[in-house]
A and B are shown apart, each in its own frame.
Chain A
């Protein structure tokens, strides 16, 4: 196996999980997210390994991808956008009710253990409920642990903009908790467990 292949496999090992999480955040579908990760890497490889052929006659080596992570995120992001277009929706939405049915039961009390009851996938879906572009900013910053600088590079926005988005995203996420809590309580008080809940 060549040096380039080896390096690329290392990049796979280092980034596959984060990209999978990103795709899951965008698609809320585990299997689809898996396929997207695979396709991202295949596209990336086609791109990287093709560079050499483009040089006419004499090779100058492969194109150096300076930041493979950013490169991969960009490909994955584009694939997701294509998928949204194909489906004709911006984002697959899951009603809050679905989450409640899955035992999702937020409440205001900080010591309450509802957070302990949701699993990682539900946590991701919860963050995905924060409207764009704030949800993504929060997700990239705190779940993917990217720096503001890195997110800025990915999105092409300034660091300042990203910082503001992260800030607003956090506020909205908190509001979301309270909102869900209020909605939930209201239903409990009214005893209307099966009426349609208002989505945000």
Chain B
């Protein structure tokens, strides 16, 4: 129901229904404005989420037909196991055994949840428990900023994985994009707070890393969107997502330029100059972020079910596809390094 649509209808009506005399520009303008009344994207997203929960609680499944199936591989074996245990044990033994089981399962489930994708049963757990706990545990401002940035990047990883499997629909994309924007904004705020506290070095390091990671995802999404087997709607979703990432990249690079200019203009002090120089030298940090993220992927892959490992593997491969052999080389070397920036310094001989 966009403007163009209204315009067309109005013209059509003018010709066909002979209301032309009364359809003055002013009247048209009122219609156009009225048509712009809508839910905000957040409201819509919330509504969809709410509806999803409602549908989950009042599911059409569970009736005689088996049209709807659980999409998660985690859920069914688990409940089947529990059911078999409850059948084979009498009540006295059952209670403590179940208590222990629940404890084990809870730990296992949270772990499994960390790999869940939108649409999986465990995904809400990942968003509402795992990530909230991580945020809660991050006390220092630097850690908070890092965690927020990491969560934002995770949303993009999820979108990429889904797109790889051809499962990224418009709805999921919209909610992931909204979450990504929100968390990226959070990271931005935390970084600014860090800067306000005078901890500029930490702020610079976090924002540069995040900017690099965003650049990497931007490329990855571009490649996914260019894949021939992607459907047109999926491609459109990816293009939109890419735009959202671009917006953040622009924010970060603009802010970085400001800071660099500020520093360059105001400081006569050699220590500050040194900092600026360093920042400028390490600027090809696009690769820094890439390395770190890739290294993370590697680490994650070690303890992961095979299916997911394959999926992440392909995300990493995307970098290699860009033809940047140097980058690929660095990646190989960096798997065991904690900080990407350390590696860059090593590689660049800083």
List the interface of chain A (C-beta within 8 A of B): 1-6, 8-10, 12-13, 16-18, 20-21, 24-25, 34, 37-38, 41-42, 45-46, 48-49, 52-53, 57-59, 61-62, 110, 115-116, 118-124, 126-127, 139, 141-145, 148, 163, 166-167, 170-171, 173-174, 177
Contact across chains for A20 and B19 when beta carbons are under 8 A apart: no
Residue of A nearest to B68 (CB): A2
Residue B140 at the A interface, CB < 8 A? no
Residue B26 at the A interface, CB < 8 A? yes
Residue B31 at the A interface, CB < 8 A? yes
B37 neighbours in A (Cβ, 8 Å): 20-21, 24, 120-121, 123-124
25 contacts between A and B (CB under 8 A): A2-B61, A5-B60, A8-B51, A8-B55, A17-B38, A18-B1, A21-B38, A34-B47, A45-B54, A49-B58, A61-B65, A115-B26, A115-B29, A115-B30, A116-B29, A118-B33, A120-B33, A120-B34, A142-B6, A142-B9, A142-B13, A144-B1, A166-B17, A173-B30, A177-B26
Contact across chains for B1 and A52 when beta carbons are under 8 A apart: no
A10 neighbours in B (Cβ, 8 Å): 170-171
B61 neighbours in A (Cβ, 8 Å): 2
Q: A6-B169, A142-B9, A166-B17 are in contact. Are A52 and B64 (CB under 8 A)?
A: yes
* CB of B5, distance to nearest CB on chain A (Å): 5
* CB of A112, distance to nearest CB on chain B (Å): 9
Q: A110-B26, A115-B26, A171-B22 are in contact. Are A9 and B51 (CB under 8 A)?
A: yes
B50 neighbours in A (Cβ, 8 Å): 38
* CB of B29, distance to nearest CB on chain A (Å): 4
Contact across chains for B64 and A110 when beta carbons are under 8 A apart: no
B99 neighbours in A (Cβ, 8 Å): none
* CB of B171, distance to nearest CB on chain A (Å): 5
B174 neighbours in A (Cβ, 8 Å): 13
Residue B227 at the A interface, CB < 8 A? no
A115 neighbours in B (Cβ, 8 Å): 26, 29-30, 33
A-B complex: 10 closest residue pairs judged by Cβ atoms: A2-B68, A49-B60, A123-B33, A17-B38, A123-B34, A170-B22, A120-B37, A120-B36, A59-B65, A142-B31
Q: A46-B58, A110-B26 are in contact. Are A13 and B33 (CB under 8 A)?
A: no
Residue B35 at the A interface, CB < 8 A? yes
A41 neighbours in B (Cβ, 8 Å): 47, 51
Known interface pairs A13-B48, A46-B58, A49-B59; 20 further A-B residue pairs with C-beta atoms within 8 A, sorted by A's residue number: A4-B68, A10-B171, A17-B39, A21-B38, A34-B47, A38-B47, A49-B58, A49-B60, A53-B63, A62-B67, A110-B25, A115-B29, A120-B33, A123-B33, A124-B34, A143-B6, A145-B1, A145-B6, A166-B13, A167-B19
List the interface of chain B (C-beta within 8 A of A): 1, 5-6, 9-10, 13, 17-19, 22-27, 29-31, 33-39, 43-44, 47-48, 50-52, 54-55, 58-61, 63-65, 67-69, 71, 119, 169-171, 174
Complex Cα distance, B60 from A52, in Å, reads 8
Q: A123-B34, A170-B22, A174-B24 are in contact. Are A1 and B71 (CB under 8 A)?
A: yes
Contact across chains for A174 and B22 when beta carbons are under 8 A apart: yes
Q: A57-B64, A126-B30 are in contact. Are A16 and B22 (CB under 8 A)?
A: no
Residue of A nearest to B37 (CB): A120
Q: A3-B68, A59-B65, A115-B26 are in contact. Are A12 and B47 (CB under 8 A)?
A: yes
* CB of A189, distance to nearest CB on chain B (Å): 23
* CB of B52, distance to nearest CB on chain A (Å): 7
Complex Cα distance, B38 from A37, in Å, reads 11
Complex Cα distance, B23 from A170, in Å, reads 7
Contact across chains for A34 and B63 when beta carbons are under 8 A apart: no
Complex Cα distance, B54 from A131, in Å, reads 37
Contact across chains for B44 and A16 when beta carbons are under 8 A apart: yes
Contact across chains for B30 and A127 when beta carbons are under 8 A apart: yes
Contact across chains for A2 and B67 when beta carbons are under 8 A apart: yes
B171 neighbours in A (Cβ, 8 Å): 9-10, 13
Residue of A nearest to B12 (CB): A147
Residue of A nearest to B35 (CB): A143
Q: Which residue of A13, A62, A141 is within 8 Å of B170 (Cβ)? A: A13
A119 neighbours in B (Cβ, 8 Å): 33
Contact across chains for B119 and A1 when beta carbons are under 8 A apart: yes
Contact across chains for B48 and A9 when beta carbons are under 8 A apart: yes
Q: A17-B39, A42-B51 are in contact. Are A5 and B26 (CB under 8 A)?
A: no
